[in-house]
Amino acid sequence: MQSPLIEEILTPRLVLVSITPESIHAEQSADGDFRLLGQGIGCTIHPEWPPIHWEPHVLTFMLNQFATHPDQIGWHRYVALPGPSGARTLIGCLGAFGKDDPLTCEIGWGILPSFEGRGYATEGMRALIDHLRADTRITSFIAHTFPSLHRSIRVMEKCGLVFDGNGEEPGSIRYRLLLQP
């Protein structure tokens, strides 16, 4: 059963389900069995979960973000794909968080290998960016990647971000979407 705090953003092919501190705790305590996470966000968990580049410390980071910036709870979302009879499967994750400057919002995503190359990352990120544009505090969106990750760069470009210099990690690059005041 879904929590009443869980919000969703609908796109033509995706349901973006917001996560909560409770769903993060469910994932942290999963120990490889993610059924509780699926129950909490109303979906089944694909066998490839979590994404290959997922780093468990990100869950702790998100919990800290929620504690420090409770107004950003709706910014972090998972991607669930509607199935033929209303069933949904968790195929990846995406989200955003405020940086040191609360007017800059960093976005990121990860799609499971079986679902890559189908436009889900672009569709999900466009929907999340459009949703977050309502927060008038945000003046820009940024994302980081590595020059060799051409698919990530293409997602950023399709979402309107442009090259903006070196990223925070050595060898990474940053893309930015400036919003009009």
Which pLDDT does position 84 carry in this prediction? 62
Write out pLDDT tens, residues 114-166: 999 999 999 999 999 999 998 888 999 999 999 999 999 999 999 999 999 99
- Which alpha helices (DSSP H) does the chain contain, by range? 21-28, 35-41, 57-68, 120-132, 150-158
State the helix-helix crossing angle for 150-158 and 120-132, rounded to 10 degrees.
40
Q: Phi and psi at residue 18, in whole multiples of 5°?
A: -70, 145
For the chain, the domains span: 8-178
Instruction: Supply the pLDDT for residue 163.
Output: 98
| pTM for this entry | 0.87
pLDDT at position 86 is 66
* pLDDT beneath 50: ranges in the chain: 1-5
pLDDT of residue 2: 38
Q: What is the structure's pLDDT at 156?
A: 98
Residue written as tokens 């436009």?
119
Cis peptide bond N-terminal to 181, omega within 30: no
CB 176 within 8 A of CB 141: yes
Whether domain 8-178 has CATH 3.40.50.1820: the reply is no
Per-residue pLDDT at 140:
94
Looking at the chain, the number of H-run helices and the number of E-run strands are: 5, 9
